[in-house]
Structure 1
């Protein structure tokens, strides 16, 4: 029995199916059956209507954005609705969204992510083989007495730290991009102060960067650093942050 909020993604293969609802109602029924009662709520639904040859899926991107913004799982009726392309699998993995497949009810969370990684990893097999051959060649050179590099441990540690900083920066930038349309909507409505934007995000139920439920002005200020300045609205926010 499921609890909480979810974003649902449906896909029909042709315009005729999309117009007639053929297949769509079955997918909705699969989602309801998967959630199986409980205190659950569909936060938003996105339906993709495409042909078999079409590679772009704008509704999937919107669904992932909505799920990531509100930090809720994305539920899909059938795994084959997403698993036909390595690119889409990688996009899902990069999004960080928890995806639930109704035809694989036990696959979710860390286990589900692992399964998606395995499905995407097949296409990366050649890169792994190249890496293995490189390591073997280096080991053979070492056995022949050839010195390989200098103090590699220190360099690796520095590289690991740099990679960690880069990953953190990328996550912050991605979160800023997710928040951008919501902040733009608030600004259009005339809400230009940090505290006003914080209240608007809180009312809309959007989690903070650390998963909290109530936004503070300082958190908005940090998020705005990852957005492009936008004239006097940004100036107004900056003035408030200095007071």
Structure 2
């Protein structure tokens, strides 16, 4: 609302009949915006309290790092270097019933891409470490 006023444009919400060029329209729009901000804040407070309570009870939060079997990762890299596309690799792994790092049964091209990206990052990190050691 403030931005609209600063920049000289109006917000008209047709399905609510709001027109911010009128006093009542601006009031109603601001009221809705304030209610939405309040709700966002309440959600944030509840989420924070729940996470703190879980942490206090010793519960592990998050999923942690998932590590792909190094041999499987090397196989994926080899298939990709041999010219196989992401979809072809995913289909082959699915056909063979190879589980994902999460233990799932379905590989997607994006999952294969993530594995390849992980391998690339690992190689880059190893190269940086080697440079700093020598």
What TM-score comes out, normalization by structure 1 length?
0.23
More strand by share: 1
What TM-score comes out, normalization by structure 2 length?
0.37
Question: Looking at CA atoms only, which structure, 1 or 2, has the larger radius of gyration?
Answer: 2
More helix by share: 2
